[in-house]
Amino acid sequence: MSTLRRDFATREALVAYIAQEFPEATGPVSPIRGGRQAALAQLAAIQPETYGDTRNYLDGTVTRLSPYLRHGVLALTEVRDWLQQRRYSWKTAEPLVRQLAWRAYWQTLYDQWGDGIWEDREPYKTGWQPEDYANDLPGDIPDASTGLLCVDSFSRELQDTGYLHNHVRLWLAAYVVHWRRVKWQAGARWFLEHLLDGDPASNNLSWQWVASTFSHKPYYFNQDNLARYSRRRWCEACPHDGRATCPFRGSYEQLARRLFPHADLHRLGTRR
Amino acid sequence: MPTSIVWVHGDSLSPTNPALATYPSAPAVWVWDDELLRAWRISRKRIVFIYECLLELPVEIRRGDVVTEIRAFAQEKGAQKVVTTSSPSPRFQRFCRELAQTLEVEVLPVPALVPVTPGMDLQRFSRYWKVAEKVIYR
């Protein structure tokens, strides 16, 4: 077996070589660069002071370190140590350190469960049974042709860039599992094809958290939440805005009755 | 003649990973796992990202069946031992078991962000965090 090349004058030359060597791997290339140098530059640019208050907003100062952390280009401990060395207080550092701990937690569970992360860890708490969920992703979701500006944009961003803001991941996953009633495994496989940080543990167990097979209740959202954290980026131009045709319109109670008619509503509660 | 090689895998793409740091002069190898790429339908952008990481590492880049390629690389270098960095992936652990049939395998741990102790409650993140937050930051 011959070895693969390492001498590329430009990124374009590398991409052309990859297209030739791996013809079955298709699609666009991400603007996000791989490598330790890119990882260290990204680390140097993080903004711990504003991270905690803004991380749920799409224009918040999130770190975008996940592709590097997933592949061990940067260790979790390096990010924690970076914060400690700069003497950030626990109050400032805590929101970011907590997110690092989520990844460590998923990895610990992966170590224990192995390929069991592909199985429902617990029953769905949605009032639906596993067989009520479709096995495959409906084509209009990867085709970005659902007609919902937000969802179609999320789908394109995933496939074009290999990166999604965490809140967008939650919205898109909730849409797939709860609005379209598709098994979380189908969505998880789709994400793993595309996410640069696609890691079976963080990915699958987060999908299970949304689905409620690894949490006390399903994660779902409404239009108010999406509009607020996206600053109405999609609602503004969406033909469904302000109309009953927006599937996300309504209070959490109204949506719970619509999405989970057989569930115990008291147990579902509401999530922000 | 070196007696060890370093195997770099997809969870350890730093030039400072424990295996490369501990064996800085050992020849190192990466193997594109053709079966995994096919099974997971890995898209081009993920391959480009990983390839860019590899170009900053002192590794020979190969592809095919991972265990076969590592064995061949070890033989070419006259090595009897494979050193690598730990991973929770069951596929990684299976490869290590297969390699251990013909080679010595040393798996170096990644420094833990949160030390996991026996009996630690992992049922929910909130319970894990109650323990973790006490030790995670100084």
In a domain, B130, yes or no: no
In a domain, B43, yes or no: yes
Contact status of B14 with chain A (Cβ, < 8 Å): yes
Nearest CB among A71, A93, A94 relative to B53 is that of A71
CA A191 to chain centre: 8
- Structural domains in chain B (count): 1
- φ and ψ of B21, to 5 deg: -70, -35
In a domain, B22, yes or no: yes
What pLDDT shows up at residue A264?
A: 83
| pLDDT greater than 60 at residue A270 | no
| pLDDT greater than 80 at residue A26 | yes
Tell me if B56 and A36 make a contact (CB, 8 A cut-off): yes
- CATH match for A130-268 among 1.25.40.20, 1.10.600.10, 1.10.579.10, 2.30.30.790: 1.10.579.10
Say if residues A92 and A52 touch (Cβ distance below 8 Å): yes
Nearest-CA distance B77 → chain A (Å): 14
- Nearest CA-CA partner of B22 in B96, B112, B114, B86: B86
Give the H/E segment covering residue A161: helix A149-161
Residues of chain B in contact with residue A11, where contact means CB-CB under 8 angstroms, are 48, 52
Average pLDDT (B55-66) is 98
Residues of chain A in contact with residue B64, where contact means CB-CB under 8 angstroms, are 1
What CA–CA distance (Å, rounded) separates A55 from B117?
31
Residues of chain B in contact with residue A110, where contact means CB-CB under 8 angstroms, are 88-89
What pLDDT shows up at residue B64?
A: 97
- Cβ under 8 Å to A: B residues 64-123: 64, 69, 72, 85, 88-90, 93, 110-114, 116, 122
B70-122: pLDDT as tens digits: 999 999 999 999 999 999 999 999 999 999 999 999 999 999 999 998 889 99
- Where in the sequence is the domain holding B18, given as residue range(s)? 4-111
Other Cβ atoms within 10 Å of A133 Cβ, number: 20
Look up residue B82 and give its amino acid: V
Nearest CB among A104, A159, A194 relative to B114 is that of A104
CB pairs under 8 A between A and B: 181
What pLDDT shows up at residue A2?
A: 75
A76-122: pLDDT as tens digits: 999 999 999 999 999 999 999 999 999 999 999 999 999 999 999 99
- The rounded mean pLDDT for chain A is 96
- φ and ψ of B81, to 5 deg: -135, 140
In a domain, B73, yes or no: yes
In a domain, B31, yes or no: yes
Nearest-CA distance B29 → chain A (Å): 10
In a domain, B124, yes or no: no
- Nearest CA-CA partner of A4 in B78, B76, B54: B54
What pLDDT shows up at residue A66?
A: 98
In a domain, B21, yes or no: yes
Nearest CB among B46, B62, B93 relative to A198 is that of B46
Give the H/E segment covering residue A265: helix A265-268
A114 phi-psi bin (left φ>0, alpha ψ -120 to 50, beta other): left
What pLDDT shows up at residue A272?
A: 46
Question: What CATH code is carried by the domain that includes residue B65?
Answer: 3.40.50.620
* pLDDT band per the 50, 70, 90 thresholds, residue B1: low
A135-178: pLDDT as tens digits: 999 999 999 999 999 999 999 999 999 999 999 999 999 999 99
User: What pairing do the DSSP bridges indicate for beta strands B59-64 and B81-85?
Assistant: unpaired
Quick one: fold of A30-115? 1.25.40
What CA–CA distance (Å, rounded) separates B67 from B90?
14
Percent of chain A's residues with pLDDT above 70: 97
Tell me if B113 and A77 make a contact (CB, 8 A cut-off): yes
Tally helices (H) and strands (E) across chain A.
13, 0
User: Would the CA dihedral through B50, A33, A95, A77 be positive or negative?
Assistant: positive
What residues does CATH 1.10.579.10 cover in chain A?
A: 130-268
What pLDDT shows up at residue A269?
A: 61
Tell me if A37 and B56 make a contact (CB, 8 A cut-off): yes
Say if residues B58 and B15 touch (Cβ distance below 8 Å): yes
In a domain, B116, yes or no: no
What pLDDT shows up at residue A141?
A: 98
Nearest CB among B72, B90, B129 relative to A114 is that of B90
Tell me if A74 and B113 make a contact (CB, 8 A cut-off): no
Percent of chain B's residues with pLDDT above 70: 99
What residues does CATH 1.25.40.80 cover in chain A?
A: 30-115
